[in-house]
């Protein structure tokens, strides 16, 4: 049974969110026009790569035996690049309101639950991934609302990041172990096919970018704390 057209629309609707978010981040960080274009060019390139990989699976050939782990491989590469470039991206500093803002798209994960009830995804994956995403999105919304015109306390920045990263860890674990991989533990009668189009765009593009937003949020928190310590010593 193919995924629903509603699911395709829902995923593609949110696909542009990271571009708008990174544009806002770049402007908040005081980047020059050329630097903004460079960041967005990289994002466009990654989007084209991820979209083509999901729709044609051309990357399976060169990944070979490690192909089942490609979502984790790509996530690790993008996360490492974001971490190494964190100071360059943040530049003059960015408000936590902006950095946490991307997590508002997390309820997109409810499409997993929707597809579970259609019989296309196993519940062992769909429920923790879908409801976990909704929880993170709601917590992010609450934090942004509660501290709308105030600085977001460290506790709440860490809360959003920890919940968000734990949710992804859970989703990847149950995603791998319910798919036709060497470490499959569940859903042998109907293996998970979340990596197929259009749902595959979530782990291959939207998840890496959401993790990048968490990395930048934690990095900005560290920058702010170091700046406060420097003021105290002076």
Summarised one tens digit per residue, pLDDT across range 49-91 is 999 999 999 999 899 888 889 999 999 999 999 999 999 999 9
Give the pLDDT of residue 231: 73
Please give the pLDDT value at position 230. 75
Give the global pTM.
Answer: 0.94
Dig out the tokens for 115 from the structure: 């597809």
Q: What whole-number distance in Å separates Cα of residue 72 and Cα of residue 177?
A: 13
- Structure tokens given for 55: 């729709």
Q: Are 100 and 217 in contact (CB under 8 A)?
A: yes
Omega before 198 cis (within 30°)? yes
Residue 1: what pLDDT?
A: 57
User: What pLDDT is stored for residue 227 in this prediction?
Assistant: 82
Which two structure tokens, joined as six digits, stand for 182?
């060497």
pLDDT at 218 (0 to 100): 97
User: What residues in the chain have per-residue pLDDT under 50?
Assistant: none
In angstroms, the CA 43 to CA 30 distance is 19
Torsion from C-alpha of 34, 40, 44, 46, nearest 10 degrees: 110
pLDDT of residue 23: 93
Buried b (16+ CB within 10 A) or exposed e, 4-26: eeebbebbeebbebbeebbebbb
């Amino acid at each position: 049974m193919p995924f629903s057209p509603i699911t395709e629309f829902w995923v593609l609707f949110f696909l542009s969110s990271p571009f708008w978010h990174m544009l806002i981040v770049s402007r908040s960080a005081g980047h020059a026009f050329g630097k903004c274009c460079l960041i967005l060019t990289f994002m466009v390139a990654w989007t084209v790569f991820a979209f083509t990989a999901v729709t044609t699976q051309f990357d399976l050939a060169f990944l070979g035996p490690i192909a089942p782990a490609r979502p984790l491989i790509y996530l690790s590469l993008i996360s490492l690049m974001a971490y190494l470039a964190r100071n360059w991206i943040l530049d003059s500093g960015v408000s936590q309101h902006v950095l946490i803002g991307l997590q508002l798209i997390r309820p997109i994960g409810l499409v997993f639950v929707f597809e579970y009830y259609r019989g296309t995804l196993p519940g062992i994956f769909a429920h923790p991934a879908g409801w976990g995403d909704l929880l993170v999105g709601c917590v992010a919304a609450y934090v942004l609302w509660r501290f709308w015109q105030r600085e977001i306390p460290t506790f709440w920045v860490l809360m959003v990041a920890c919940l968000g990263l734990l949710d992804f860890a859970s989703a990847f674990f149950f995603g791998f172990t319910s798919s036709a991989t060497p470490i499959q533990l569940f859903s042998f009668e109907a293996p998970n096919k979340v990596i197929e189009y259009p749902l595959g765009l979530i782990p291959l593009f939207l998840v890496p970018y959401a993790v990048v937003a968490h990395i930048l949020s934690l990095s900005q928190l560290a920058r702010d704390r170091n700046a406060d310590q420097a003021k105290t010593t002076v």
